[in-house]
Amino acid sequence: MTEEELSLVRAAAGGDREAFRTLFVRHRADVHRLVYRMIGPRSDIDDVVQEVFFQVFRSLKDFRGQSKLTTWLHRVTVNVVLMVRRAERSRPTYVEEQPGDLSPDDHRALPDEEAERNERVRAFRRLLDRLADKKRVVFVLHELEGMSPQEISDVVGAPVLTVRTRLFYARRELEAMMSDEPSLAGVGAFAGKAER
Amino acid sequence: MSKKPTLDDLVRDERRRAPNEPDWAAMESKLFARIDEAEAAEVARPRLGGRGWAAAAGALALAASAMLFFGRRGELPVESATLGAEPSAGTLSAVDGAGQVLVGGQPVQAGRGLVPGDRVDAQGARGLFENAGKVTFAVEDQSRVRVDRSRGTVILALESGAVEAAVVPVSQGEAFAVDVPTARDRVRVAVHGTHLRVAREGDRVVVDLTEGVVSIGRPPREGSTYGTLVVAPAHIELDASRLDAGITVDHATEHVRKAASLAAPKVASAAPVHVDDHEPASPTSSPRPGVGPAPRPKTTDESPRPTPTEATSAPPPASASVAPVAAKPELKPKDAVVQAVRSCVASRVQLGQQGVRVTVSSTLHLRVGANGSVESARFDPPLDPEVQTCAAATIYATRFGDPGPVTIPIEVGR
């Protein structure tokens, strides 16, 4: 963490709203993307992001600077998302699939191909959702966010070996579930995926 | 499918997807408003003496409070940003029974208000307290509570016995809470308007929820509570000293203790009530209030969704409800659902302001099980989560005649 960022954190922890606003602006997109990766396109995603930063504001004074700020932010984000999901297990929830929210940022495909791809993505998210929290977290952080097992270890507070084990079983379970998912039938295993 | 994708392909597809850009300015505005509210609430929080904090330290908190949905958590209603005289947590409206109610060890009469630090003992009678527009609660016979907070969220610490309360729904934040002190742990329950009874026997805690939604978890230092959300009707049991061991939830209406009337008896007893400002008298050896029905088979809180309930079961109390309009027996199930959704929209979405006509259109897709209960519900397109949460209670409580998919068009506007 740079000196400039550390001084921002200290100022924000001391109640400096402008410093906190700077941190919010600097990191909000990353937090928003991670929340999106973890819970999918839901209508309350902005509320979850807001909650993350509310918790950040309350906890900044406890941040010692022993890890990277981004790692700490990932930790707070993961914890908030897990709290949300735990809370939802005990109350009626609605399935909120929002096809219009899928916005590819690469080349445009033909409509049929795009529709097919969207359906695959939705099916993939359904399967991700069926993974146990611990496995889903490490899978999302590693495969979608590109974090190394060492970084994930800092985020989830588990040994690197445990992270690797969870990754292994997450992949294996996903592959097994895919064979039962009609829109993903025939999906093969990872092609020699190398861990970073 | 033209080509069978690999898992690598799926991950690559997912990586390429980007979430829609939110309204950052609106989010920032809400975030800072929320921080301001939390800080104001913290400033306004009553200061307990060292003795009071010592007593509260390590306590298990079981709080019942009003909430709407996740997005509103952490927002405390602040009655006043300025420090001043503490408002009353409730005023004794009646002593129901031949015994007495004591405040600070002294018998009290109807009209006595409660402030933080007061300790209430009900001996041989039930003390009924009224906080107009917020909550009505009863300290049951052989029960003792301490008032921990009266500003914003009314918080009672249940030291023994039972408290029953009808909480008036609030648009945001928490209105009422019951703390149950133990030596090892803390919990919180959050509610969107409810009628509930919290009873303890040692560290065993039973919550009977006749209406509303409660969340049970550890109370935060500030703001609202994250916890296990449970929808009424529910009979909930937990070990207050071992919250991590989980809670058990039974949604069968017949297993939920029937809500007692919290209305003051027509002829109020003149018998005094005992409120202790500090150390209360030792509890008597007379029987304690029951902590609920006998144990029955229960589902765990891991259940993906509460069992849908019959619309005709558990008559709701007049003072609190989850959906503004409950399914009326004379209405057809579809009509009852539509009416509930409309009421939820009307109560939570500002329609027709400044000459602007607002129309809310969606389609509600239900899957009805063999017994006529709703197994799943989905709005397409989704409505405001607040509206959906509001409507959920009625939707899942409605019973349909035939199993299978049900589609209900929703259109609200003016």
Judge whether residue B59 has pLDDT over 50: no
Q: Does residue A191 belong to any structural domain of this protein?
A: yes
Same domain, yes or no, for A70 and A126?
no
Where does the pLDDT of residue B325 fall: very low under 50, low under 70, confident under 90, or very high at 90 and above?
very low
Answer yes or no: is A148 within a domain: yes
Radius of gyration over every alpha carbon of chain B, rounded to an integer in angstroms: 23
Q: For residue A176, how many C-alpha atoms fall within 13 Å in the half-sphere facing its CB?
A: 8
On whether both A150 and A67 belong to a single domain, the answer is no
Residue A194 in contact with partner chain B when CB distance is under 8 A: no
Split at pLDDT 50, 70, 90, the class of B293 is very low
Q: According to the model, what pLDDT value does residue B323 have?
A: 37
Residue B138 · residue B126 · CB < 8 Å:
yes
The answer to whether position A104 is within a domain reads: no
Type of residue found at A60: L
* B231 strand-pairing partners: B213
Q: Are residues A178 and A148 in the same domain?
A: yes
Kindly determine whether residue B305 and residue A144, on different chains, have CB atoms separated by under 8 Å.
no
- Crossing angle of the two packed helices A17-39 and A45-59, in degrees rounded to 10: 140
Distance between first and last Cα of chain B: 45
* pLDDT band for position B152 (cuts 50, 70, 90): confident
Q: Please state, in angstroms and as integers, the Cα–Cα distance from residue B84 to each residue in A75, B87, B155, following that order.
A: 39, 9, 18
Query: Is this complex scored with an ipTM above 0.85?
Result: no
Same domain, A151 and A183: yes
Distance CA B73, CA B174 (A): 9
Can you give the CATH number for the domain in which A11 is found? 1.10.1740.10
Which positions 61-80 of A are in contact with B (Cβ < 8 Å)? Answer: none
Mean local confidence (pLDDT), B82-110? 80
The domain that contains B370 carries what CATH number?
3.30.2420
Q: Find the Cα–Cα–Cα–Cα dihedral B60, B65, B71, B73, rounded to 10°.
A: -40
Q: Are A32 and B19 an interchain contact pair (Cβ–Cβ within 8 Å)?
A: yes
Task: Tell me: do B56 and B95 sit in the same domain.
Answer: no
| Cβ within 8 Å of residue B74, ≥6 positions away | A51, A54, B34, B38, B220, B222, B223, B224
Same domain, residue pair A185 and A131: yes
Mean pLDDT computed over B286-310:
39
**Residue that is last in its domain, among A98, A122, A151:** A98
Rounded CA-CA distance B71/B68 in Å is 8
Assess whether A113 and A56 both reside in one domain: no
Q: Are residues B341 and B406 in the same domain?
A: yes
Domain that holds residue B199: 90-255
A3 and A57 co-located in one domain: yes
In a domain, B144, yes or no: yes
Q: Among the three residues A98, A129, A159, which one is the final residue of a domain in this structure?
A: A98
CATH of the domain at B222: 2.60.120.1440
Opening angle at CA B54, ends B52 and B58, nearest 5: 120
A90 and A12 together in one domain: yes
| Nearest to B343, CA basis, from B326, B330, B357, B328 | B326
List the single range of A53-67, B13-27, B169-183, B350-364 with lowest mean pLDDT. B350-364
pTM (2 decimals)?
A: 0.41
B117 domain-assigned: yes
**Cross-chain residue pair B229–A87, CB shorter than 8 Å:** yes
Is A193 inside any structural domain? yes
Whether residue B316 lies inside any domain: the answer is no
Here the tokens at position A58 are 């309350």
Q: Are residues B360 and B237 in the same domain?
A: no
The mean pLDDT of B12-16, rounded to a whole number, is 81
How close B300 gets to chain A, by Cα (Å)? Answer: 10
Place of tokens 């690469």: A106
Q: How many domains does chain A have?
A: 2
The predicted pLDDT at position B192 comes to 57
Find the DSSP H helices in chain A. Answer: 3-13, 17-39, 45-59, 69-88, 111-130, 133-139, 149-156, 160-178
- A15 falls within a domain: yes
Q: Would the pLDDT of A7 be above 70?
A: yes
Distance from CA of A141 to the nearest CA of B (A): 11
Q: Are B148 and B118 in contact (CB under 8 A)?
A: no
* Residue A132 sits in the same domain as residue A64: no
Range of the domain at A29: 1-98
A45 vs B: CB within 8 A: yes
Q: Is A182 on the interface with B (CB under 8 A)?
A: no
Domain co-membership, B29 together with B98 = no
Residue A91 and residue A4 share a domain: yes
The pLDDT-based confidence of A178 (bands split at 50, 70, 90) is confident
Reference B121, options B131, B108, B112; nearest CA is B108
Contact B397, B366 (CB under 8 A): no
Tally the domains of chain B: 3
How is residue B85 written in tokens?
Answer: 């005289």
Q: Which residues pair with B135 in a beta bridge?
A: B131, B167
Mean pLDDT of chain B: 69
